[in-house]
Structure 1
Amino acid sequence: MKKWLSLGLASLMLGCASHSDVADTTAIEAAQPLSTMYDSTILSPQGQPLTLAQLATALKDADIVLVGEWHGHPGAHLMQAHLFAALYQQNPDMALSMEQFTRDKQHVVNQYLAGEIGEKTLIKEGKAWPNYSSDYRPLVEFAKANQLDVIAANAPKSIIRCIGQQGEGYLDRLPATERKWVAEQLTLGDDAYHAKFNASMHHGDEEKTKRQFAAQTAWDDTMAESMVDYLALHPGKQIIHVAGRFHVAEGLGTASRITARNPNLKVMMVTPVTEKTNVAEGSPDYTFEVMPLPTAYVDKDKMKAAMKAIYGRNKGIKCYK
């Protein structure tokens, strides 16, 4: 009964009655124009158009599927939900891993999955992202309905910000309990991910960039370690992990940190692109094209004021001395 209920929920989420229907009713061929921000077109790493069902089949043997997003993009979040359901249909032995919850809140996530607390408590005590209800609720509810684990994979934002201010040495000042909320080791060498990050920085302060990269890779290393440790305890499961595009694209971020910890794991990437952005030629990513998000700011002064307000909040964080 449980298996049939789970498959029914997966079919409902996909808007189909059977796996064969997925290709006919939910996948969008690459040749069709994008008419809304919910639409997407899927391509293989070789540039071949794929249906959603074909994408799921291509990812069948992956131990970990990393699905990127622009936070708040409706098309990216819809793709994550549809792909989660499609992967579950062909292999219900799955777990969901999320950038959007942190290790220190794993017990809160577990309480919610067990029905011990309600969603409002999850959002408040689990420090869910502001867009949880619109963008991440479908993923968590699908996992809950099908009794799948949800891995709160990330490091707490307060610790990451302190690393950004003080560098990787800040980790040595953390109490033992809090130190476990961040990866044991950070990847700080001059790899391709480091080079890509440095190229995105424009303030010209080398030491500041060094600290900021330590903070960036602390996210990736922690998420990678969380998934590798989970699979060590649950061999044979497939993980779908949702995270920001920069962490996923081209296998440079989280994927490279997973491989460094366990080279036997097969990691595959599904990365959003737009007509203005893409992945590097030869990258192993499966891609889905969506409409670009609206321009955030036209007035540069307003953009600077917004960034200044963000940095102002960061200055108020209390770090261990």
Structure 2
Amino acid sequence: MNSLSLFSISVLLSACAHAQSIGIFQGSTHQPVTLNQTMAEVQPGSIVVIGENHGFKEHQDQQLQIMQALRAKGLKVSVGLEFFTYTSQDLVDSYQQGVLAEEEFLKAIQWGSPSFDLYRDQALYPDLTEGSKTLALNAPRKLTSKVAKHGLQNLTAEEQALLPPKFSLGRESYKQRFLSMMPHLPSPEAGERYFAAQSIWDDTMAWRAVDYMMNHPDQVLVIVVGEFHVQFDGGLPDRIKARSAHIPVLSFSQINTLGLSSDEIAQEIAASPTEGPRAHYLWLAPAQGPVK
């Protein structure tokens, strides 16, 4: 039996050993760790990316625990949210500063679902007195919607100006995983358009995050984003690293174990043969939801 086979068996046994557990595990070894242990390597200037299932209260509670653990280390914590488009940063600032009432804020940014009650604490977590802030990360919906329907080549000059500087599509392995999740697209051309829109989300968030950290190296930026953007470092983490090789990136994947068998959990936490671990850390827990 060769060493690769032994390694594969070792990983499988490790996954099975922890498949029925809840808690935080190292992505590469599946060994259990404490939250404080995961925070040990986070220093000022770092970005912590947390993948979530939108609308699951347990996931939002876990995100706050991560933020609190960082603050307990004496770190300044800013928060980046996928839900807010970067063109709305002034509205986010006004809301965070208490100038804009929440009802007006949600109306102005056209908040839909899930319930904002789940994300209020994250949006208001940064401490203004220490210079931290809530960062609006995402691209305007009208931009990604047009690209998904008509392609990058049909953007107007005004729409092109909304793209992040030096925009780049995501890597090929990420593209193939994305397309495998979209089996009902009508044509390969449609797949290319939808992946371009997905890449705009990732690269815009990466641009905003890197730009902010370049100007605030004394802080830690915690980004809350949909789980697929985090998995296997293929989406947002990859784009952050492409824009800056000097900013440390730590990723959390929150995995809902509710109703999953041991084999299904083992499959969820397994590393990819080509892309490696799902994330630096895996947070396994049953979660009810989503909350509308």
SS of match in other structure, 1:143:
coil
Whole-angstrom CA distance in 2 between matches of 1:78 and 1:55: 17
- Please say which of residues 179-188 and 148-157 is displaced more in the overlay: 179-188
What's the CA shift for 1:291?
A: 2.2
Hey, what does 1:86 align to over in structure 2? 69
Q: How big is each residue's C-alpha offset from its partner over 1:25-67, in whole Å with a ceiling of 9 and x where there is no partner?
A: xxxxx97978xxxxx5111122111222222224447711100
Deviations 1:138-164 (A, max 9, x none): 112222576521110001112111110
Matches within 5 A, 1:70-149: 70-143=53-126, 148-149=132-133
SS in 1 for 2:126: helix
The amino acid across from 1:169 in the alignment is Q
Distance 1:189 1:65, change over 3 A: closer
Deviation per CA, 1:244-300: give whole Å up to 9, x if none.
0000111110011111111111111100123433352541420011226679xxxxx
| 1:272 counterpart letter in structure 2 | Q
Identity of aligned residues (%): 28
TM-score where L is the length of structure 2: 0.80
SS in 2 for 1:201: coil
Secondary structure, counterpart of 1:72 in structure 2:
coil
User: What is residue 252 of structure 1 aligned with on the other side?
Assistant: 234
Q: What is the aligned partner in structure 2 of residue 68 from structure 1?
A: 51
Residues 106 and 152 of structure 1 are in contact (CA less than 8 Å); yes or no, is this contact kept in structure 2?
yes
Question: Quick check: 1:218 aligned with 2:200?
Answer: yes
Change (3 A) 1:104 1:189: closer
- What is the CA–CA distance in structure 2 between the aligned matches of 1:265 and 1:191, rounded to whole Å? 23
Deviation at 1:181, TM superposition (A): 3.7
The worse-fitting range, judged by mean Cα deviation, of 162-171 and 137-146 is 137-146
Structure 1 runs of 4+ with >6 Å offset: 30-34
Taking the aligned partners of 1:245 and 1:88, their CA distance within structure 2 comes to: 24
Task: Return 5+ residue gaps in structure 2 as ranges.
Answer: 1-16
Bigger mean CA offset, 256-265 vs 140-149? 140-149
What is the root-mean-square deviation of aligned Cα atoms in Å? 2.6
Flag structure 1 segments of 5+ consecutive residues without an equivalent.
Answer: 1-29, 35-39, 296-321
* Distance (whole Å) between structure 2 residues aligned to residue 206 and residue 120 of structure 1: 42
Q: Which residue, out of 171, 176, 181, partners 1:200?
A: 181
Q: State the match for 1:231 in structure 2.
A: 213
Q: 1:62 to 1:194 in 2, by over 3 A?
A: farther
User: Among 283, 286, 299, which residue is 2:281 paired with?
Assistant: 286
TM-score (norm 1): 0.73
**What is the alpha-carbon distance in structure 1 between the residues aligned to residue 192 and residue 98 of structure 2?**
43
Q: Once the two structures are superposed, what CA deviation does each residue of 1:86-112 show, in whole Å capped at 9, x if it has no partner?
A: 112213322111101001110000111
Q: CA deviation at 1:119?
A: 1.3
| In structure 1, C-alpha distance between the alignment counterparts of 2:161 and 2:137, rounded to whole Å | 12
Say how many residue pairs are matched. Answer: 258
